[in-house]
Structure 1
């Protein structure tokens, strides 16, 4: 297996460390750096190793491959075809784990476009929502040629002590969900169901993704002939990397990785984006740590408005999905709206997260301090987009988008700067 990791911030570095210690050679773990200078530094200056620090003890992992890409703007279809012809002999990517910030993802994945095939598996391990839809809209426009997508939520806390040196500051968990493909290679157009075993056994099975290639090979060797039908062959070829990626990631026990039904993961993602859409923009605007927010009544009032809007759009989205399934004759049964997405539950979780991360500064605030772009459009902007589709006013979230945008354009003034009136 060959795994590529795109985005070497705290979480990307931490995940790369655990994958390398779990996947022993001859399996390959390639790190994709922002530029060749960083790739050379990682390989030659830093000794081709990652340091993951726990309670002051740095644990090394070694034996990585290194690549570099030059971030570029998304290409037109004609440019992508030309790039593909130029680089058609370059190694195709089997499994790509994306740990970049959302606003960096489209150009970065676009630069790898010629190496991504329908057999590739892309894991989106990021904050925010809507990135898969954006990639499909801009890059993978035809459903039959799209890669496999795994969406993930992460609650681990980590920060960078230096390049390729991540400090694991808070133990959490990673939950994976496989997005069902729009293109179905099954017989007579039958939809692919990666969660078939869940309804019967309340657990997921790798065999529902694709047959185990090792078992298939053993059958062939023992019988001297192929004992798998053409449909199973096609499924094994199409989803081989997807099965291997899920199997590999769920072996990362130290990171508490679980594969769960997509609807559960989607709820977790919705809850996280709602929480981030309160804490991140408010701390960015006020230039304060997370724990400073809810000492003041005004913060709770603003947070309640943001949570109410999030609940409203998620509820409308839920109703639309249920109606769509009924219209298409899908027997999904009655699914109540998740209680954890109700406004009071979201507000409780916002306050809890702010309290337990009280001394932390949000990543959005750190980006604003540096004058960098933020992830506001994949958080509050994502909620505003759903509201627009449903015809719902999103005044509080729209205000957050505008204020954070303004904050990144007007530099934060330090206490040491002199002011003149």
Structure 2
């Protein structure tokens, strides 16, 4: 079964390259003819990991392509995700699976409600990646990916494909707690990287500010009845 990747940003590209490198069938969906032309000129997607770069000639297509979609990885920003899926909605097969790789809360539930014929799987990731250039992503930080279905249900068999692609994964029975925790982490990290104009890892030089934010966030999580997300923040 093909993996259709919607969104060629840092994490979407990281997943696409690793899946393709493991022999999975992957197709990248780009938003415009101009982006598709730029991608084709680049020859594909480049991944740099452990100081080694490799080009993956992954096929790419536009949202209005005719091939049906059975498994869709949505790696757009949360505010773009629902609109991006709407562009390919006519291609979604009955019973398809949509993996939602968004931070925060709310967009996932809106998508699950809008497309009830699909199984929506929420993903919370602590892996780090950034774009060196268009269609060139750098794997910057190893982490974990938690996947889960807020409606219940067992873990899908294709998790083995993630293992073969060296994509660390854990099936979570309480994915919403994981999403709350990721939201809190971003609330601590993102504003400080802006204030200090630095990458995430450089925040180790600003431990006092980071700790202060985490203390506030723990209070907020506990008041929101999310003690698991607050534990050892």
TM-score (structure 1 length as normaliser): 0.49
Instruction: Provide the residue aligned with 2:169 in structure 1.
Output: 257
**2:133 is equivalent to residue 158 of structure 1:** no
The residue that corresponds to 1:95 in the other structure is: 71
> In 2, distance between residues paired with 1:282 and 1:159?
17
Map 1:56-95 → 2, pairs under 5 A: 56-62=51-57, 64-69=58-63, 90-95=66-71
Gaps of 5+ in 1: 70-86, 182-192, 195-203, 207-242, 316-336, 347-421
* Larger-Rg structure: 1
CA distance in 2 between partners of 1:14 and 1:41 (Å): 18
Distance in 2 of aligned mates of 1:8 and 1:279: 23
**Within-5 A mapping of 1:262-411:** 262-263=173-174, 265-284=175-194, 286-289=195-198, 291=203, 293-296=206-209, 300-315=211-226, 338=228, 341-342=230-231, 345-346=232-233
The SS at the match of 1:279 is helix
Name the count of aligned residue pairs. Answer: 229
1:300 CA drift (Å): 4.5
Deviations along 1:213-235, one digit per CA (max 9) or x if unpaired, are: xxxxxxxxxxxxxxxxxxxxxxx
Structure 1 residue 158: Cα displacement: 1.2
Larger strand share, 1 or 2:
2
What is the distance in 1 between the residues matched to 2:68 and 2:145?
27
Whether contact under 8 Å (1:251, 1:257) holds in the other structure is no
Q: CA RMSD in A?
A: 2.5
Secondary structure in structure 2 of the residue aligned to 1:112: helix
Instruction: Verify: 1:248 aligned to 2:161, yes or no.
Output: yes
Partner of 2:48: 53
* Deviations, residues 211-256 of structure 1 (Å, cap 9, x unaligned): xxxxxxxxxxxxxxxxxxxxxxxxxxxxxxxx44x34233322x22
Deviation for aligned residue 1:302:
4.8
2:104 pairs with 1:128? yes
Name the CA shift for 1:306/1:173 in 2 (closer, same or farther; >3 Å). closer
CA deviations 1:20-59 (Å, max 9, x no partner) are 12235xxx3211112111112212x112x22111232102
Taking the aligned partners of 1:301 and 1:54, their CA distance within structure 2 comes to: 33
Q: How does 1:190-201 map to 2 (within 5 A)?
A: 193-194=153-154
Structure 1 residues 261 and 174, CA gap change in structure 2 (3 angstroms): closer
Gaps of 5+ in 2: none
What is the TM-score with the length of structure 2 in the denominator? Answer: 0.85
Residues of 2 paired with 1:19 and 1:94: CA distance? 16
